Amino acid sequence: MKRKVPNFDFNRRQKILWNTLRNRNIDALVIFQPQSVSYFTGYAGIGCCLLFQNGSCSLFVDQAHYEEALFTADCQEVVTISKDFIDELKSRILYLGLKTVGYLARSMSADIYLSFKSDLQPVRLIPLDDLIDDFRSIKDKNEIRSITMACKISDNVLGGLVKSTPWICRESTLSAEISSQIVRAGAKEAFPNQVTSGSRTSRPHGQTTTKKLSDGELVMCDIGVSWNGYCSDCTRTFIRGKKSARKKHLYKAMTTILTKIVAAIKPGVFCNDLFNYSIELMDGFHLADFFCHVLGHGVGLEVHESPVISGDNRSELKQGMILAVEPGIYIPGWGGIRLEDLVMVTRNGVKVLTKFDRDSLIKI
């Protein structure tokens, strides 16, 4: 598949971030998390650190990654470090006389934090995870195009599975076919796909095994595609051979539940209200006791991003957010059914990005 690389406006993102930091009287921001480094510069390497200060963006990398960073990073300076870039970064902060430095707590190790805390006195360290989460949760048009393409590839892979599965007899073989189709489409896997079957489908994140697929069993496939670094996330539950009345009934219940949840998504809805609504819907089918995880999450450069759609998250949905919505039931000893769609919050409602059929229990 021919790839058209989008023109992400990293300079605009950096300017907006710097204006926000300045308005909060924060002198600088240090970022170690690779996906956030990529979000602001386009550099997708590892073992790096980003320093924002005075409207300038400096990327610290080791010698092995210097040339790649030089050609791919959209920033004012690429600094190559011969030994310990943490020491170099601390020296830079002290030299510049910075007094207030933001950081991302979730991606900074305890060792680095304690080192900063002891060696950068009297610099104030301020956690800014929520700020960066808010930046990344609203997707621009090029991010949306990349995620939409990832979803299209995911849909095609699922369609290919239905055609090719008669000769597939094991979970591991089905998993390998998913990986192969994604690579043949010119994309990457956003995460190792998960294929479970039979009673093992009651494990929300069960690992793929060499178990044989047997007639009458449910088969759950959770797959993610990465395109231009942006992810899709989709789960479908299939049937191997003959459908029992109970499986058809429960599958129909889950399609009804997911359809109603998606229809309720729009700007201004609180995440916890959406989660609680899903519990009400499941309770109407006497299934709430078999649901054991959050309802969904944001998706972007990472498969799991802000916001988390859970019972204790009071944040509001906003236009431009892309969400994975994944209600599921898991009945020990019997099996499970999870259906997951990727959706985009629009100005007045929602748009479903994953198009592969979920209304009927498809045989594979």
Cα pseudo-dihedral 192, 106, 45, 179, rounded to 10: 10
What's the pLDDT score for residue 318?
A: 98
Q: In whole angstroms, how large is the CA radius of gyration of the chain?
A: 23
pLDDT exceeds 50 at position 324: yes
Model confidence band, residue 166 (pLDDT cutoffs 50, 70, 90):
low
Average pLDDT of the residues in 331-359: 97
Model confidence band, residue 354 (pLDDT cutoffs 50, 70, 90):
very high
Bridge partners for 298 per DSSP: 305, 323
Do the domains 141-352 and 10-136 match in fold?
A: no
What's the pLDDT score for residue 333?
A: 95
What's the pLDDT score for residue 312?
A: 97
Model confidence band, residue 2 (pLDDT cutoffs 50, 70, 90):
very low
Q: Which residues contact 240 (CB under 8 A, 6 or more apart)?
A: 197, 213, 214, 215, 216, 217, 218, 219, 363, 364
pLDDT exceeds 50 at position 334: yes
What is the overall mean pLDDT for the chain?
94
Q: Are the C-beta atoms of residues 202 and 335 closer than 8 Å to each other?
A: yes
Q: Which residue has the higher pLDDT, 5 or 332?
A: 332
**What is the third-level CATH fold of 141-352?**
Creatine Amidinohydrolase (3.90.230)
What's the pLDDT score for residue 169?
A: 86
Q: Are the C-beta atoms of residues 286 and 273 closer than 8 Å to each other?
A: no
* CB-count exposure of residue 69 (10 Å: 0-12, 13-18, 19+): buried
CA 340-346-352 angle, to 5 degrees, is 30
pLDDT exceeds 60 at position 289: yes
Q: Are the C-beta atoms of residues 291 and 328 closer than 8 Å to each other?
A: yes
* Backbone φ, ψ for residue 160 (5° rounding): -65, -35
pLDDT exceeds 60 at position 8: yes
Q: Are the C-beta atoms of residues 173 and 211 closer than 8 Å to each other?
A: no
Q: Which residues contact 354 (CB under 8 A, 6 or more apart)?
A: 151, 154, 155, 232, 234, 340, 341, 342
193-212 tens-digit pLDDT: 999 999 999 999 999 999 99
Residue type, 134: D
What's the pLDDT score for residue 272?
A: 98
pLDDT exceeds 60 at position 3: no
pLDDT exceeds 90 at position 88: no
116-158 tens-digit pLDDT: 999 998 999 999 999 999 999 999 999 999 999 999 999 999 9
- Token couple for 254: 């889950």
Among all chains, which residue has been given the structure tokens 């993102």?
A: 13
* Backbone φ, ψ for residue 189 (5° rounding): -80, 130
**What is the third-level CATH fold of 10-136?**
Creatine Amidinohydrolase; Chain A, domain 1 (3.40.350)
What's the pLDDT score for residue 5?
A: 53
Least confident residue range of 61-65, 228-232, 275-279: 61-65
93-113 tens-digit pLDDT: 999 999 999 999 999 999 999
pLDDT exceeds 80 at position 1: no
| DSSP per position, 205-257 | TPPP-SPBP-TTEEEEEEE-EEETTEE--EEEEEEESPPPHHHHHHHHHHHHH
Name the nearest CA neighbour of 169 among 197, 199, 189: 197
Name the nearest CA neighbour of 134 among 331, 354, 318: 318
Bridge partners for 237 per DSSP: 220
Residue type, 222: D
Q: Which residues contact 36 (CB under 8 A, 6 or more apart)?
A: 50, 104, 107, 132, 136
pLDDT exceeds 90 at position 326: yes
Q: Are the C-beta atoms of residues 53 and 63 closer than 8 Å to each other?
A: no
Q: Which residues contact 149 (CB under 8 A, 6 or more apart)?
A: 227, 228
Domain limits, the chain: 10-136, 141-352
